[in-house]
C-alpha cells in the first residue's frame, strides 16, 4: 500500500514531467518549479514528497491538483497533518555552547567528509586528493573564492564559486546554498535584519541551472531540508555525539553535496559570526 509520509510546504499545483531519476529520488519539474518524490531515507524537505510502499524510481508521473497527489495511477489525499515545516526556530540561545558545538561540527566535517569534496577548504591536508592539473586549477579557483568571501567582497566570492564542479548539483552551488543558510541563521541569532545581504547573495548565486536554483531559493528563504534542520538543532541545543550523528546524516546527501553545503555553511559562520 502506498502511503504519503510527508510533503513540503513549497509544493505547487501542476502536471509535472520527469527531470532526473535516482535510486531514492525522482525529480520532477513544471516550468521552473521542482518537486522531489523521495524515499523515507531521504526524508522531508520543503520540496519533497516522502512516500512509503513504493520505490521512488518506479514513479513516472506526478500531478498535484485540488488537494490530491497523483503518482502514476495512485491518488493520494494531501493530508495537512503530514505537512513538513522547513523553518528553524530559535528558543533559548547559549552563545558559548553554540560556538563550542560549531567546533564539534567542523571537526566532524573534516574527519567524515568524502574524498573530492570541498572539505579541503577547512582541512588543507585533503588537497592531496586532487592530483590532475584540472583538479589543481579547480582547487585554486575555490580557494580564491573562499578567501574573497572571508576577507573581501562576498558577492565576488560567491559569483566566482558559482557552478564550479561536476554533477547535477555542482559543488560551488551546494557551497553557496550553505552560505545562504548561514546568513539566515545569523539573522536569527543576532536578531538583526540580514534580508538585503541574503537577497544580494542569492541573486549572485543563481545561474542557468534550474535544479540548483531551486535549492538556492529554499536556502535564501531559510527553508531547510530535514537532515540539515536536525543538524542545526543539534548544534544549537545538543552535544557532540548528537552532532556527529546528524553530521553523518547530512554527509549522506549525494556523493559530496552534503559535505559541500556544510563547508559553505561553516565558511558563512566564520565570515558573519565568529
pLDDT for the residue 82? 98
CA distance 168 to 270: 28
pLDDT for the residue 92? 86
pLDDT for the residue 74? 94
**185's grid cell:** 541563521
Q: What is the pTM of this model?
A: 0.97
Strand pairing of 83-84 and 14-21?
unpaired
* Co-location of 188 and 247 in the same domain: yes
Residue where a domain stops, chosen among 58, 84, 110: 84
* Co-location of 109 and 216 in the same domain: yes
pLDDT for the residue 91? 87
Query: What DSSP string describes 153-203?
Result: -HHHHHHHHTT-SSSSS-HHHHHHHHHHHHHHHHHHHHT---HHHHHHHHH
Residue where a domain stops, chosen among 25, 58, 84: 84
Asked if 8 and 47 touch (Cβ cutoff 8 Å), the reply is: yes
* Co-location of 61 and 124 in the same domain: no
Residue where a domain stops, chosen among 62, 84, 106: 84
Give a yes or no: residue 101 inside a domain: yes
Give a yes or no: residue 90 inside a domain: no
* Co-location of 136 and 196 in the same domain: yes
* Co-location of 127 and 77 in the same domain: no
Domain count, the chain: 2
Which range of residues forms the domain containing residue 72?
Answer: 3-84
Walk along the chain (274 residues) and give the pLDDT tens digit of each residue: 899 999 999 999 999 999 999 999 999 999 999 999 999 999 999 999 999 999 999 999 999 999 999 999 899 999 999 999 999 999 888 999 999 999 999 999 999 999 999 999 999 999 999 999 999 999 999 999 999 999 999 999 999 999 999 888 999 999 999 999 999 999 999 999 999 999 999 999 999 999 999 999 999 999 999 999 999 999 999 999 999 999 999 999 999 999 999 999 999 999 999 7
Closest CA to 29 of 214, 226, 225: 214
pLDDT for the residue 166? 86
Amino acid at each position: 500500500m502506498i502511503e504519503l509520509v510527508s510533503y513540503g510546504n513549497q509544493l505547487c499545483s501542476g502536471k509535472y514531467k520527469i527531470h532526473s531519476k535516482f535510486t531514492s529520488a525522482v525529480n520532477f519539474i513544471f516550468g521552473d518549479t521542482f518537486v522531489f518524490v523521495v524515499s523515507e531515507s531521504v526524508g522531508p524537505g520543503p520540496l519533497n514528497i516522502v512516500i512509503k510502499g513504493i520505490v521512488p524510481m518506479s514513479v513516472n508521473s506526478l500531478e498535484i491538483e485540488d488537494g490530491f497527489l497523483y503518482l502514476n495511477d495512485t491518488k493520494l489525499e494531501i493530508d495537512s497533518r503530514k505537512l513538513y515545516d522547513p523553518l528553524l526556530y530559535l528558543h533559548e540561545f547559549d552563545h558559548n555552547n553554540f560556538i563550542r558545538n560549531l567546533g564539534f561540527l567542523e571537526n566532524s566535517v573534516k574527519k567524515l567528509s568524502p574524498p573530492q569534496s570541498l572539505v579541503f577548504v577547512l582541512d588543507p591536508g585533503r588537497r592531496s586528493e586532487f592530483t590532475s592539473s584540472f583538479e589543481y586549477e579547480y582547487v585554486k579557483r575555490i580557494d580564491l573564492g573562499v578567501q574573497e568571501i572571508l576577507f573581501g567582497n562576498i558577492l565576488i566570492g560567491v559569483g566566482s564559486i558559482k557552478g564550479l564542479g561536476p554533477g547535477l548539483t555542482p559543488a560551488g552551488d551546494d557551497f553557496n546554498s550553505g552560505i545562504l543558510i548561514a546568513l539566515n541563521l545569523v539573522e536569527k541569532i543576532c536578531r538583526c535584519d540580514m534580508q538585503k545581504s541574503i537577497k544580494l547573495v542569492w541573486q549572485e548565486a543563481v545561474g542557468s541551472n534550474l535544479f540548483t536554483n531551486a535549492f538556492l531559493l529554499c536556502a535564501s528563504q531559510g527553508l531547510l531540508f530535514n537532515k540539515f534542520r536536525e543538524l542545526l538543532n543539534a548544534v544549537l541545543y545538543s552535544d557532540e555525539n548528537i552532532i556527529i550523528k546528524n553530521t553523518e546524516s547530512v554527509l549522506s546527501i549525494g556523493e559530496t553535496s552534503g559535505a559541500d553545503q556544510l563547508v559553505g555553511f561553516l565558511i558563512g559562520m566564520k565570515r558573519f559570526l565568529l
